[in-house]
């Protein structure tokens, strides 16, 4: 259905934002005051969906937290209930990971801390979210995290909306106790926060499989590749926080969002780097830093990922040199800017079996430099790539083949 230009109360629907499993979301403007909000209209009128929508409205109306979209009211449009709430600008966390690949550990931990603070508040209200994932987290243009979508959240004293043994939530984010159809509790949300942190620092989910039984088995066994194996820039302290969330038994995980926040706050900060050294650091420095928060720190993180390429010497032979991945817009005297991209998500860049970077980076280069690299992504065949930098800056985009 399309309700564009319809009036709901004193609001007019101006733009379609998106659709989910139960409804459609629109940007709406108050016809007299000009106030801009979001309106979610239930499109599935079967009884189970109506009950879930009512549950979402009830929970949204009960919450007041800066990291949770504010509830404005409930209306009806052509017999369909409509939830009026704060319009959150910016991008989803899933979009940020999809466009940038793995986030700097410091940025990832700062985001997770905000999410955990919101989740801790939700838990204090007797609510389990049950669908914590990158698509349900937005980051505003001001850097504020917003937790969205309480469609399958459960109140401790609320009516049971799922049958025993029914899976509820996003499969890759479910905790072991939920795989068997259990409802889970606040510690299941802690597990999902660990999945989020892992995804942010690696650009990939910790639990994947060629089929559902394989995925279920890996989740039940808490069997995942350590984040630092996929991204050597992940410090041991961050790896420990991930492990503290992804314990197979709920009793062995962090028992509350507060415990998780304390673990994040205990991660040591790296000493400040002198300004003269911020744009070029040797490869050996990569992976030995962690700074929580701060736009300058995030920019620095992107600037210290190095990869190897070749440069012609006077005899026309290719000699090895080191190039630095830099943030776009950084001033530089380098002749060219080369971007490596891969379809369908990021991939690790290897040189002589050594992990040296990740696609999505911008590389300072010179005309004539030759690259012989290999791109790798779990579940895909390794791809050897080779190219020589020409007179014009360029983007090199590759597609990896599934195994």
Query: Taking the alpha carbons of 297, 232, 397, 389 in that order, is the dihedral positive or negative?
Result: positive
Provide the 10 A C-beta neighbour count for residue 321.
12
Domain ranges of the chain: 7-85, 91-265, 304-398
Q: Return the closest-CA partner of residue 25 out of 72, 87, 79.
A: 87
Domain 7-85 shares a fold with domain 91-265: no
What CATH number matches the domain at 91-265, 1.10.357.10, 2.60.40.10, 3.10.129.10, 1.10.510.10?
A: 1.10.510.10
Mind listing the pLDDT tens digit for each residue in 295-347? Answer: 333 333 333 333 333 333 333 333 333 344 544 444 444 456 677 778 667 88
Q: Which residues have a Cβ under 8 Å from the Cβ of 272 and sit 6 or more positions away?
A: none
Is 227 in contact with 246 (CB distance < 8 Å)? no
Long-range contacts of residues 24-28, Cβ cutoff 8 Å, at least 24 apart: 27/87, 28/84
- Model confidence, pTM: 0.63
How far apart CA 401 and CA 205 sit, in angstroms, is: 19
Catalytic annotation present for 131: yes
| Options 15, 89, 131, 353, the catalytic residue | 131
Fold for domain 7-85? Phosphorylase Kinase; domain 1 (3.30.200)
Is 70 in contact with 32 (CB distance < 8 Å)? no
What pLDDT, on the 0 to 100 scale, is given for residue 79?
87
Kindly report the backbone phi and psi dihedral angles of residue 368, in degrees, each rounded to the nearest multiple of 5, phi listed first. Answer: 95, -10
DSSP 156: T
What pLDDT, on the 0 to 100 scale, is given for residue 326?
46
What pLDDT, on the 0 to 100 scale, is given for residue 341?
77
Please identify every stretch of the chain with a pLDDT value under 70, giving residue numbers as ranges.
1-2, 21, 156-169, 269-337, 343-344, 362, 364-368, 388-394
Tokens linked to 82: 């409509």
For 139-256, where are the alpha helices, taking DSSP H only? 176-179, 186-202, 212-220, 227-230, 236-245
Strands 354-358 and 348-351, how do they pair?
Answer: antiparallel
* CA-to-CA dists, residue 224 to 35, 247, 288, angstroms: 46, 11, 23
Residue whose pair of structure tokens reads 């979009």 in the numeric block: 95
3-state secondary structure of 310: strand
**b vs e for 117-141, b when ≥16 Cβ sit within 10 Å of the residue's Cβ?**
bbbbbbbeeebbbbbbbbebbbbee
Mind listing the pLDDT tens digit for each residue in 87-101? Answer: 988 899 999 999 999
Q: How far is CA 201 from the centre of its chain?
A: 9
């Amino acid at each position: 259905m399309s309700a564009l230009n319809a009036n709901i109360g004193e609001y007019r629907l101006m733009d379609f934002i998106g659709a989910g499993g139960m409804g459609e979301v629109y940007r709406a403007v108050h016809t007299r005051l000009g106030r801009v909000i979001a309106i979610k209209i239930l499109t599935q009128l079967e009884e189970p969906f109506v009950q879930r929508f009512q549950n979402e409205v009830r929970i949204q109306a009960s919450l007041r937290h800066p990291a949770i979209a504010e509830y404005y009211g409930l209306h009806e449009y052509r017999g369909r209930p409509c939830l009026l709430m704060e319009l959150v600008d910016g991008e989803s966390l899933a979009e940020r990971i999809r466009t940038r690949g793995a986030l700097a550990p410091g940025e990832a931990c700062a985001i997770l801390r905000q999410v955990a603070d919101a989740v801790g508040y939700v838990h204090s209200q007797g609510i389990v979210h049950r669908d914590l994932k990158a698509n349900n987290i937005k980051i505003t243009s001001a850097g504020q995290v917003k937790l969205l979508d309480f469609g399958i959240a459960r109140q401790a004293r609320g009516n049971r909306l799922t049958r025993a043994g029914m899976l509820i939530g996003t499969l890759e984010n479910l905790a072991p106790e939920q795989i068997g159809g259990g409802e889970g509790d606040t510690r299941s949300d802690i597990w999902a926060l660990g999945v989020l942190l892992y995804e942010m620092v690696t650009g990939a989910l910790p639990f994947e499989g060629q089929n559902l039984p394989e995925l279920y088995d890996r989740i039940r066994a808490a069997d995942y590749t350590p984040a630092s194996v996929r991204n050597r820039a992940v410090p041991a302290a961050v790896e420990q926080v991930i492990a503290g969330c992804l314990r197979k038994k709920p009793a062995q995980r962090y028992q509350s969002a507060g415990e998780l926040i304390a673990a994040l706050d205990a991660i040591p900060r790296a000493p400040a780097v002198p300004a003269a050294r911020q744009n070029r650091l040797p490869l050996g420095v990569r992976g030995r830093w962690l700074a929580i928060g701060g736009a300058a720190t995030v920019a620095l993180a992107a600037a210290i990922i190095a990869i190897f390429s070749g440069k012609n010497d006077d005899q026309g032979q290719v000699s090895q040199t080191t190039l630095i991945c830099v943030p776009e817009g950084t001033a530089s005297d380098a002749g060219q800017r080369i971007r490596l991209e891969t379809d369908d998500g990021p991939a690790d860049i290897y040189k002589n079996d050594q992990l040296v970077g990740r696609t999505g980076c911008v590389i300072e280069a010179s005309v004539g430099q030759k690259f012989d690299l290999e791109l790798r992504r779990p579940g895909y065949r390794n791809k050897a790539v080779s190219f020589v930098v020409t007179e014009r800056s360029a983007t090199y985009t590759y597609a990896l083949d599934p195994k």
